[in-house]
Amino acid sequence: MIEREAAVRAVEDQLERDYQQWRAAGVDALRMAVVDVEQHELAWIVFWTSEEFVRTRNPEFMLAGSGPFWSTVSTGGCTGSASSPR
């Protein structure tokens, strides 16, 4: 079973890969940050939003349509839905 920190790291790594892909495509993407984690029987559910929203609480930077990532407790595999870059 993976620990909370490993689940968070898996999601942070995925968010960074997504950010780099958007930047490579020439998009002015926002960086994302993990904001909450819930433990469930089969997975850690990891919630995230933009770093800018976390820092400023400005609703302009709040994400819409993004769901959490799931990091399975048995393997640490990361599954989830990504949002648009802005």
The token duo for 72 is 């399975």
pTM greater than the 0.75 cutoff: yes
**How much is the pLDDT for 76?**
80
Per-residue 3-state assignment (H helix, E strand, C coil) for 1-68: CCCHHHHHHHHHHHHHHHHHHHHHCCCCCCCEEEEEEEECCCEEEEEEEEHHHHHHCCHHHCCCCCCC
pLDDT in tens, 12-61: 999 999 999 999 999 999 999 999 999 999 999 999 999 999 999 999 99
β pairing state of 43-50 and 78-80:
unpaired
Which tens digit of pLDDT belongs to each residue from 57-84?
Answer: 999 999 888 889 999 888 888 887 655 5
Instruction: Tell me the domain boundaries of the chain.
Output: 4-77
